A = this chain, B = another copy of it.
Amino acid sequence: MASRTSQGEESSYRESRRDRLLSTCAELIARKGFASTTVRDIGEAAGLLSGSLYYYFDSKESMLEQIIVKLQAYLWQRYDEVASSDLSPRAKLEGVLRVSLDAIDQYNDEVRVYQNESKLLEENERFQERAARSKDFERMVTGILRDGIATGEFRADLRIEVAFRFIRDSVWTIVHWYRPGGELGIDEVAKDYLSMLFGGIASPNG
């Protein structure tokens, strides 16, 4: 790409302009979906003409790719910390879920894009490396579940692959209704969800 140099100030100025454009992309793609968002929409929202976007990006697909790259970098820096810690399985699982919830809070648009366009990422060859991270997430969480069953912290009578999907989907779908800065904060959501995930919704004295 013609716009990428590797010189200090000039490069970082350009990077930050790029990043601001990416945030605009994320907001629009989160709201309207990738297929229904046009490069003209993005240009208009960013205050330039669609053609000018191609100074920063090779294609509409590469805008999507950069959004996901940025999000995955954030997520995996933190997932790796939790996974390599010596916490108990239950505490590790709580940690993983907290990281995911923090992403929903701080990178709301990007997470929505990641969720909404996951099919596209899986099917398009270009995004194979991005889609592979979903398998990494599954490996990490099912590993924690197995360990927790071994220690007796988790129930042994559940299919691990079903429990994994239950956990993954209940947490990530929060992004579809949670609004950063709204009345209900992410800490309150985390408290309720962790409580329901671990203890269920039925009364203990039922």
Chain A residues at the B interface, C-beta cutoff of 8 Å: 33, 35-36, 90, 119, 152-159, 162-163, 165-167, 169-170, 173-174, 176-177, 184, 188-189, 192-193, 195-206
Contacts and interface: CB of A to CB of B under 8 A. Distances in A.
B205 A196 contact: no
Contact of A163 (B33, B167, B174, B196): B196
Nearest to A192: B162
Given A33-B119, A159-B188, 4 more contacts: A157-B195, A158-B196, A162-B184, A170-B170
A200 B193 CA distance: 11
A192 B35 contact: no
A162 B193 CA distance: 8
Top 9 A-B pairs, shortest CB-CB distance: A200-B200, A35-B35, A169-B173, A198-B202, A199-B200, A170-B170, A162-B192, A35-B36, A198-B200
